Structure 1
Amino acid sequence: MRAIIVEQPGGIEQLKAGEYPKPVPADRELLVRVKATAINRADILKRRGLYPAAAGASPILGLEMSGVVEQAGAACEGWKAGDRVFGLLPGGGYAEYAVIPGEMAMRIPDRLSFEEAAAIPEVFLTAYQTLFWQGGLAAGQWVLIHAGASGVGTAAIQLAKHKGAKVIVTAGTDEKLAVCRSLGADIAVNYKQSSFDEEVKRATGGQGVQLILDFIGASYWERNIASLAVDSRMVLISSLGGSKVENVDLAAIYAKRITIIGTLLSTRSVEYKTQLTRDFVRDALPAFADGSLKPIIDTVYPLEEVGEAHRRMEENKNIGKLVLTV
């Protein structure tokens, strides 16, 4: 089958179109003819050799896909050849065929294209997990979402507002801030022009937010702690601004009773991802069917232009998802 292969860890030049053995589904797996997949920062880190792979995962990049069931394993109940399907993968999305555990697969709502469906799994399931499973976000609470125009950011804004929460986001351009507002963000802060902790203090009457979703890490640490309310939570998703914080003052953490959670979805067990998928299907997927939730797509590329998609993400130019058609 046709696939994108990383010849050796390194730059974009290591992404090469080539042939790779077609996967064979186990009894509880679906073989899917991939129609579209999408780019995630984890793909870039994996390409560079800097990201842990799940045990037994395909060496081919790609953590999500949409497509058509080609073959259902003997123990895959409720699925048949021809079904439109999408979902999370441990790897293998940048290819003509991929396998997915039947229990982790989701049916594509009729109103969504394959490109739109491929833009949902990784970012919306990550956002759902961090907001609700780990963050405990409830209606009426405040959440601060950094990198608001990213894939996870645009998903988190929508899910938080769908829950009835109040949303503050950060982003670095007027265009990105405008998109965040259009998705429902109550307050959008240009981090290059304003101090987000001061904006949080002003918006919340000095109380702080109940939850922060943070992709930045070290460079935001002190301002994040200052932005959190008593009995609040911060979920660390990435560390684009560094992973080592010097001279940490623990006093505010225990004084405010702050819970700090680190998360990494791609290396979770199949059982964890299956339950997460089930909860998402129950709570959120119907909102895609009626259009109240929607995937945000920046650009769609053919598979062979994967390098351009990686470059756009590395340069932080995308608003929402970068999708590859296969």
Structure 2
Amino acid sequence: MLSYWMQTVDNKTVLEQRDIERPTPAANQILLRLHAASLNRGEFVIGHGLHKGGQASAIGMEGAGVIAAIGNDVKGFKVGDKVMGRCRGAFAEYATMDSVEVMHIPDSLSFEQAASVPLTYLVVHDMLSLQGKLLPNEWLLIHGVSSGVGVAALQMGKAMGAKVIGTSGSPEKLARLKEYGLDVPLCLRGSGFEDAVMKATDGKGANLVVDTVGGSVFAESIRCMGFEARFAMVGYVDGVLSAELDLLALHAKRLRLFGVSNKLRSAAQRAEFLPEFRAEVLPAIADGRIKPLVDQAFPFDQLAQAKEMMETNKHVGKIVLKMPV
């Protein structure tokens, strides 16, 4: 079967397509015939440390398709079921997936849309619900709102009843996101959003900040956070890995800062809150309150072009790779 691999060479990522043997599912796994898999920026950011330098590994982190085989211990699924989930090596014709990660695809979704759900929306559920404790009518500030995580956070935030402020350097992208409920679009890159955030929130500040950008927006975000507000650090595409922290603001406003990453979590820890995700998020996707936004789906042999589109920030929402079915 065809599969994509990647290694880091001289501080650059190098892609390679290989023809390898089809995997066999373990007792607690399914074998998935992939129809689509979603790109995630963190997998290609060298600073995230998801790949060891000079060592090639299979890539792709979430996908959707049809079950081709089932391990002896798997319950609740059968060959032929349309499913989605997180798995290693999803940029391939086939991949094994732990049964705890497998989710049936809602009838309302295409394979391409379904492929953009598992990892991305689980990350957003973590930072908005599990850690962020976002409440109805609170103000959610999303830096880099047009990214895959940013759009998912916008959609989930609106489904939770929040009011959303989003930053992006593209007026066209912000205009497109108005139909997804973006309340306050701020067209800018980097700094300069504090006054607009404080005005929109009647001087009270944002209740939850989602930072997909990095350290360049950190200090100003702290200044425009409200009392008992929360800050979710989820990405640093700007490459800025340090920032000034106003300890007086942290102390006086009783702020809570947290990271959102699966890098150091065990498989059991990653799967711990899947029941809550299935109960809280999947129904909103199934009934259309949340509509996964796929900007473009590339043919399987165009992963390099898909990666280039993502790294040059030409997309709104998710970019997907379609498998040769």
TM-score of the aligned structures, taking structure 2 as reference length: 0.92
Partner residue in 2 for 1:273: 270
Taking the TM superposition and a 5 Å limit, the aligned residue runs for 1:235-314 are 235-245=232-242, 247-314=244-311
How far apart in 2 are the matches of 1:49 and 1:165?
32
Distance 2:40 2:210 in 1: 17
Superposed CA deviations along residues 272-300 of structure 1, whole A, max 9, x for unmatched, are: 33233221211121222222211101111
Aligned length: 320
CA distance in 1, matches of 2:48, 2:156: 30
Contact 2:190 2:217 survives alignment (8 Å): no
State the identity %. Answer: 35
Taking a change above 3 Å as real, the CA distance of residues 246 and 209 of structure 1, as seen in their structure-2 partners, is: closer
- State whether structure 2 residue 65 is matched by structure 1 residue 78: no
Q: Residues 315 and 282 of structure 1: is their aligned pair in 2 closer, same or farther, counting only changes over 3 Å?
A: same
Q: Per-residue displacement from partner, 1:225-263 (whole Å, max 9, x unpaired)?
A: 111111111010012234443554311111111111012
1:35 alignment counterpart:
35
Specify whether residues 236 and 63 from structure 1 end up closer, same or farther in structure 2 by C-alpha distance, changes over 3 A only: same
List per-residue Cα deviations over 1:200-227 (Å, max 9, x = no partner): 1001111111110101222112210111
**Gap change, CA 1:246 and 1:275, over 3 Å in 2:** closer
Where structure 2 has 5 or more consecutive residues not aligned to the other structure, the ranges are none
Equivalents in 1 of 2:273, 2:35: separation in Å?
Answer: 24
Report the Cα offset of residue 267 of structure 1.
4.4
One-letter amino acid of the structure 1 residue matched with residue 17 of structure 2: A
Partner of 2:220: 223
Gaps of 5+ in 1: none
What residue in structure 1 maps to residue 25 of structure 2?
25
Q: What is the DSSP-based 3-state SS (H/G/I as helix, E as strand, rest coil) of the residue aligned with 2:157? A: helix
The answer to whether the aligner puts 1:324 opposite 2:324 as a matched pair is: no
Matched, 1:195 2:185: no
Match of 2:173 in 1: 176
Give the AA of the match of 2:80. G
User: Does the CA-based 8 Å contact 1:34-1:97 persist in structure 2?
Assistant: yes
CA distance in 2, matches of 1:257, 1:14: 44
In structure 2, what is the Cα distance between the partners aligned to 1:79 and 1:243?
Answer: 44
Q: For residues 110 and 92 of structure 1, what CA distance do their matches in structure 2 show?
A: 25
CA distance in 2, matches of 1:51, 1:246: 20
Alignment of 1:78-227 (within 5 A): 78-89=76-87, 91-192=88-189, 195-227=192-224
CA distance in 2, matches of 1:131, 1:50: 21
CA contact (8 A) 2:139 2:165 kept: yes
The amino acid that maps onto 2:84 is F
What are the residue-to-residue correspondences of 1:46-65 with 2, within 5 Å?
Answer: 48=46, 51-52=49-50, 59-65=57-63
Task: Summarize the Cα distance change of 1:128–1:13 in structure 2 as closer, same or farther, 3 Å threshold.
Answer: closer
1:220·1:241 contact (CA, 8 Å) conserved in 2? no
1:152 deviates by 0.8
State the TM-score, normalizing by the size of structure 1. 0.92
Cα 1:15–1:236 change in 2 (3 A) is same
- 8 Å CA contact 2:218, 2:243 repeated in 1: no
2:32 and 2:67 in contact (8 A); partners too: yes
Q: Is the 8 A contact 1:10 1:49 kept in 2?
A: no
Q: Give the C-alpha shift of residue 179 in structure 1.
A: 2.2
Aligned Cα root-mean-square deviation (Å): 2.1
Q: Report which stretch shifted further, 193-202 or 99-108.
A: 193-202
- Aligned-partner SS, 2:156: helix
Contact 2:43–2:50 (8 Å) recurs in 1: no
Supply the distance in 2 between the matched residues of 1:37 and 1:201 (Cα, whole angstroms). Answer: 39
Q: How far apart are 1:192 and its partner, in Å?
A: 4.1
**1:100 Cα shift?**
1.0
SS of 1:14's equivalent? strand
- For the residues of structure 1 that align with 2:212 and 2:263, how far apart are their CA atoms? 16
Between 1:169-178 and 1:10-19, the stretch displaced more is 10-19
Q: CA deviation at 1:123?
A: 1.6
d(CA) in 2 for partners of 1:107 and 1:184? Answer: 27
More deviation, 210-219/240-249 = 240-249
**Alignment partner of 1:299: what SS?**
strand
Call closer, same or farther: CA 1:275–1:7 in 2, change over 3 Å. Answer: closer
